[in-house]
Structure 1
């Protein structure tokens, strides 16, 4: 695995000094870009787009053609793993992801099996390999997966949820079954991420999008414990290069110290967290990623620049910061405001380092 020409992102994750703060955006290849919408139309459906390595490569590269981003992230979906477990993923128009066969009966839960990532999810590995070739070592490629808890929410609810009634009901009435789902899913995620690393991913991220809906003790038992298990099972070195890991729990600010202690290299922060206070809390244990409110990008260009500078000022010119949004970019974001954000982060972070000497 040869080092990318621009390895600023990887060095920041390892808390090494960098000339500026690197930047990438969660969901950076998406509906806010007209070129993505055009490719999506050609694909016919979102799932067809995900399952076509050529088209997945095309949309992964689109934001890098438009913006000077410091990393690419594989274009895929977190729900490919439960789909490969046989739950039947589909996307209902205007309703988001759904499963044809959500987990309802005990026998269904007991029958859950770990899919072979190179067979049932081979199209993802083909996409990773194709994207790496297309990037030609310009910037690093990030692979990713959902966390076991987040995947389990969809697997039990059958889709998105407002109250998580089914999955939390199972958690409190049959914790043994909940742990079984999470245990099998953790094994599946570990194998899936390692297969992505083998195919060429140079960093990996675990998205715990729904960890923040759990009660204090339940988060540690039903989410973080399984994330810790995955991190411990990851391939952390490939061809002599470190493969860093990022863990992001949306709504996880209260558990920041615990997350930083799970073995990960970096912790993603949502926009409710003071990144300066977070850095003081974790010290030099992990790098931090984040954490601009995505809604800032609906503001004026001046507001976008000012809010980006606030995040950079709060973190300071210290090593170990990857700039990102506090969650995925909205489909309604004006693309020109992303240009303002990228330019501001790169130029202002250089100034901060110059002033710090």
Structure 2
């Protein structure tokens, strides 16, 4: 229950996610707890990646690291975890060395029989819930806490490819050769994701984000056939399950990277409160297309953070002015157009936050 946690002092993110116009844009960045921070690298030097994910005290510590470093500049914390905990919960082995590797990927639909048909998320992923509750208390209401999961298509890709991919040959071959079996697997993943997100809200998450990092790899008609229905199912299922338990809904964000041609469809039919955009569309154009259907989040190219502070300031100013343009000048959330990368100087990220505070004021 919310009454079990300290009262929230900064609700800027939640107001923007509800589509309200705010005095300035709330700001956070994807992967803000990660390898670019020396304090994170110190933790990782002593502990394996999934060990950190599975140990609530460690997950809490690394979640709080950017909040402490950028005190007063960040408007959200996002729980330290990984999208691949869902395939693990479904019975797949995942290693991180240094990128994700599945020793036994799903080569054919017959391999789906190896997966758990019903996943008890409390049993398999309770460590994430424990980390969320512990982090909520440790935040002392400073900022909201975001929970998340990977999207079914993105998780499907990892599970079939056995790791990251440049071509997605195996995953796409499944869609072409085994369309119905692919839809069944995507639906199975979606059910686990929905239960996982509900558990995160019950544990204390105040906003949810679904990461569809590989959505842009699909042709528009394949996105509509394979990726969108399970995304819609997650949004509807999370809300209905929370309502059934008498729990107030929380805002939900979808980040479907690379799907700018699908933006109107996603805004109209996706079922999410916020849609994250990458840097390949102008915010003003995105806002013009979606009108007041959803709040927007994004969208600076993460590589700008390597370009020097003058470039960061110039691009943040440009981004903010563009978000203020277009139709329906309501809620928007400043972020990068994808996750921060490991080589960024933490002080350059601080400058990004400071520039957002300066240039996003209403």
State the TM-score bracket (shorter-chain normalisation).
over 0.9
Asked whether 1:320 is paired with 2:331, we answer yes
Task: Return the alpha-carbon distance in structure 2 between the equivalents of residues 169 and 15 of structure 1.
Answer: 39
Query: Which residue does the alignment assign to 1:336?
Result: 347
**Partner in structure 1 of residue 263 of structure 2:** 256
- The C-alpha deviation readout for 1:142-200, integer Å capped at 9, x for no partner, is 00000000000011111111111111111101111111110100100000000001100
Q: 1:342 to 1:170 in 2, by over 3 A?
A: same
Residue matched to 2:154: 150
CA displacement at 1:85 relative to structure 2 = 0.8
Q: What's the CA shift for 1:240?
A: 6.9
Map of 1:70 onto structure 2: 75
1:22 to 23, 26, 36: 26
C-alpha distance in 2, partners of 1:111/1:183? 16
Query: What is the CA distance between 1:131 and its match in structure 2?
Result: 0.6
Q: Tell me, in whole angstroms, the C-alpha distance in 2 between the residues paired with 1:161 and 1:17.
A: 39
Contact 2:91 2:114 in 1 (8 A): no
Structure 2 SS opposite 1:345:
helix
Per the alignment, residue 96 of structure 2 pairs with 91
Matched ranges for 1:164-179 at <5 A: 164-179=168-183
**Most deviating of 227-236 and 217-226:** 227-236
Number of residue pairs the alignment of both structures matches: 348
Worse-matched range after superposition: 233-242 or 145-154: 233-242
Q: TM-score, normalized by length of structure 2?
A: 0.93
Cα root mean square deviation, aligned: 1.5
2:318 alignment counterpart: 310
Q: Decide whether aligned partners of structure 1 residues 153 and 322 sit closer, same or farther in structure 2, where only a CA change above 3 A counts.
A: same
1:288 equivalent among 280, 290, 296? 296
Query: Which one of the candidate residues 1, 4, 11 is aligned to 2:8?
Result: 4
Contact 1:109 1:180 in 2 (8 A): no
Within the candidate set 196, 202, 207, 1:203 is matched to: 207
Instruction: Look up the match of 1:220.
Output: 224
Gap runs ≥5 in structure 2: none
Task: Give 2:237's aligned residue.
Answer: 233
Q: Which moved more, 1:291-300 or 1:106-115?
A: 106-115
User: CA separation in 1, counterparts of 2:214 and 2:154?
Assistant: 5
Inter-partner Cα distance in structure 2 for 1:192 and 1:217: 28
Match of 2:46 in 1: 42
Aligned to 2:61: 58
CA distance in 2, matches of 1:105, 1:293: 37
Q: Secondary structure at the match of 1:219?
A: helix
SS in 2 for 1:29: coil
Where does structure 1 lack aligned partners over 5 or more consecutive residues?
none
